[in-house]
């Protein structure tokens, strides 16, 4: 007699089974789907699918064959360019891959790097920088998993997820500013103010970049992304920048109802860093300054209204011609320690230094500290990042080593005779520096504002 094993382990004669063979097959099939170890389809898991740019993304692939090789790709379309990264992984004996646990065997990065797909992206157009100038839209990232197998269909599909990476939290307010001569964008955090406040500036080659200011607001700071060149009727060359503009920006921002005027700071990259130092040297309201690879003197003669300001350096012509471009770090110098005295009103100063900066020499930051009077020297903190280049940006931003010479006013430098200027940086070390620097910036501002 034929028997059928029931789900409770008992045996019944086949002619006593209380349901049909079709029903039994359907039940077993459902059990196979429920019990993942019996039958699992490959799946790509990415969390969170919507989050801030400085959040870690968790990526997993499950349902693979044991020890199967899989290539995972990420891509972004931004700034009129496409950025791509990839890495190959081997599944474990359960057919699972965890980017937080497993090493990448090859690709645009290697080793255990949970966020490697993000910081190792490379532009398919040379010299293009992944930069989001407006923060009111998300960065869209497409992630694909392509199992390396000769089979196809449901046994080995191409898996895909699309995620959103934001600089601005959903409840952060974004307010464009066109107030007198001031140009920029204000971001107001969620919650009840007034808030500690930061004026944020990038270098002298872009009109306005909102991304970092939006991220600061998402972390609790009222922020003002301040443009000082190229936008609307603002100067088109650095020598036309009026330093009174930055004092006016502090005065206006400090009067806003969402700003705590007793807790104001500035954050600047490159030329924006030097301008932040100058503002702190002339405005007691600035209690903290973060200078990212900004020279502590000016590379050209600037004026406050019609009065020339000191702190002017010298531009020489001994740019270094390297294999993939020109390094400008050697063309600037400053006579007689003519540094910007940002310390004189007691402002706390954090200087972040990329030791592979090829646009401005790290040498001058050490000289700056030496020039600071002894009574203020403890107010200055310098952090050096080996292998980091000039553009130290929020975490997981891909390294940009090159800037086209035709960009902005670079083409006016007589020392340049190449297609690209070099920002410097080694991909993996630069990525680690950006991650550490962002934590350092937030902690510094929270402590001193």
Catalytic-role residue among 270, 299, 365, 430: 270
390 is catalytic: yes
Question: pLDDT at residue 292 above 80?
Answer: yes
Catalytic-role residue among 299, 365, 390, 430: 390
Mind listing the pLDDT tens digit for each residue in 210-259?
999 999 999 999 999 999 999 999 999 888 999 999 999 999 999 999 99
What does the buried/exposed string (b/e) look like for 267-293 if buried means 16 or more CB atoms within 10 Å of the residue's CB?
Answer: bbbbbbbbbbbbbbbbbebbbbbbbbb
Q: Which pLDDT band, with edges at 50, 70 and 90, does 149 fall under? A: low
pLDDT at 50: 97
Mind listing the pLDDT tens digit for each residue in 419-445?
788 999 999 999 999 999 999 999 999
CATH class of 43-166: mainly beta
Query: How far is 316 from 334, CA to CA, in rounded Å?
Result: 11
> Phi first, then psi: what are they for 26, rounded to 5°?
-65, -40
Query: How far is 443 from 428, CA to CA, in rounded Å?
Result: 23
270 is catalytic: yes
Query: How far is 407 from 359, CA to CA, in rounded Å?
Result: 14
Percent of the chain with pLDDT over 70: 86
Contact in structure between 236 and 229 (CB atoms under 8 Å): yes
282 is catalytic: no
Q: Which pLDDT band, with edges at 50, 70 and 90, does 418 fall under? A: low
Question: pLDDT at residue 203 above 70?
Answer: yes
Q: Name which of 324, 328, 320 is nearest 419 in CA terms.
A: 324
Q: Which pLDDT band, with edges at 50, 70 and 90, does 7 fall under? A: very low
Query: How far is 106 from 94, CA to CA, in rounded Å?
Result: 21
Q: Where does 129-220 show beta strands of DSSP type E?
A: 139-147, 159-166, 173-179, 182-188, 195-201
Indicate if 173-448 has the same CATH topology as 43-166. Answer: no
CATH pick for 173-448 out of 3.40.50.150, 3.40.50.1820, 3.30.70.3270, 3.20.20.70: 3.40.50.1820
Mind listing the pLDDT tens digit for each residue in 92-134?
999 999 999 999 999 999 999 999 999 999 999 888 899 989 9
Q: List the domain boundaries for the chain.
A: 43-166, 173-448
Q: Which pLDDT band, with edges at 50, 70 and 90, does 9 fall under? A: very low
Name, of 18-27, 149-158, 260-269, the range with top average pLDDT: 260-269
Catalytic-role residue among 357, 365, 423, 430: 357
User: What does 49-103 look like in DSSP terms, one character per residue?
Assistant: SEEETTSPPEEEEESPPTT-EEEEEEEEEETTEEEEEEEEEE--TTS-EETTTSP
pTM of the model: 0.87
* CA atoms within 13 Å, Cβ hemisphere of 192: 0
């Amino acid at each position: 007699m034929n028997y059928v094993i029931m789900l409770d382990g008992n045996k019944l004669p086949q002619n006593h089974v209380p349901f049909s063979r079709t029903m039994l097959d359907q039940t077993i099939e459902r059990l196979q789907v429920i019990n993942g170890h019996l039958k699992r389809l490959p799946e790509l898991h990415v969390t969170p699918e919507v989050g801030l740019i400085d959040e870690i993304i968790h990526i997993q692939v499950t349902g693979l064959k044991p020890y199967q090789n899989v290539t995972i790709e990420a891509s972004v379309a931004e700034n009129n360019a496409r950025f791509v990264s990839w890495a190959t992984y081997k599944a474990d004996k359960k057919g699972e891959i965890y980017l937080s646990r497993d090493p990448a065997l090859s690709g645009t990065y290697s080793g255990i790097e949970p966020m490697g797909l993000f910081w190792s992206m490379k532009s398919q157009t040379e010299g293009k920088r992944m930069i989001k100038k407006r923060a009111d839209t998300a960065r869209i990232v497409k992630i694909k998993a392509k199992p390396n197998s000769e089979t196809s269909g449901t046994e080995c599909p191409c898996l895909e997820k699309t995620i959103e990476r934001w600089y601005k939290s959903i409840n952060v307010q974004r307010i464009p500013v066109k107030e007198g001569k001031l140009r920029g964008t204000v971001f107001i955090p969620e919650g009840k103010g007034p808030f500690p406040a930061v004026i944020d500036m990038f270098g002298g080659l872009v009109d306005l970049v909102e991304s970092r200011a939006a991220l600061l607001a998402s972390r609790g700071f009222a922020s003002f992304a301040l443009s000082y060149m190229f936008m609307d009727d603002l100067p088109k060359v650095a020598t036309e920048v009026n330093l009174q503009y930055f004092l006016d920006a502090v005065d206006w921002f400090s009067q806003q109802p969402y700003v705590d005027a007793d807790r104001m700071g500035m954050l600047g990259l490159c030329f924006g860093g030097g301008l932040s130092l100058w503002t702190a040297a002339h405005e007691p309201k600035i209690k903290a300054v973060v200078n990212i690879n900004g020279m502590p003197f000016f590379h050209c003669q600037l004026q406050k209204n019609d009065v020339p300001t000191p702190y002017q350096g010298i531009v020489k012509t001994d740019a270094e011609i390297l294999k993939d471009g020109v390094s400008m770090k050697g063309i600037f110098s400053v006579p007689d320690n003519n540094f910007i005295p940002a310390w004189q009103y007691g402002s706390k100063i954090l200087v972040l230094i990329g030791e592979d900066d090829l646009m401005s020499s790290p040498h001058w930051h050490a000289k700056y500290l030496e020039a600071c009077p002894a009574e203020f020297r403890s107010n200055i903190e310098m952090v050096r990042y080996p292998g980091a280049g000039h553009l130290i940006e929020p975490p997981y931003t891909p390294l940009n080593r090159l800037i086209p010479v035709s960009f902005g006013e670079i083409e006016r430098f007589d020392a340049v005779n190449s297609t690209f200027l070099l920002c410097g940086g080694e991909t993996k070390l630069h990525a680690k520096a950006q991650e550490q620097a962002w934590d350092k910036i937030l902690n510094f501002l929270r402590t001193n504002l």
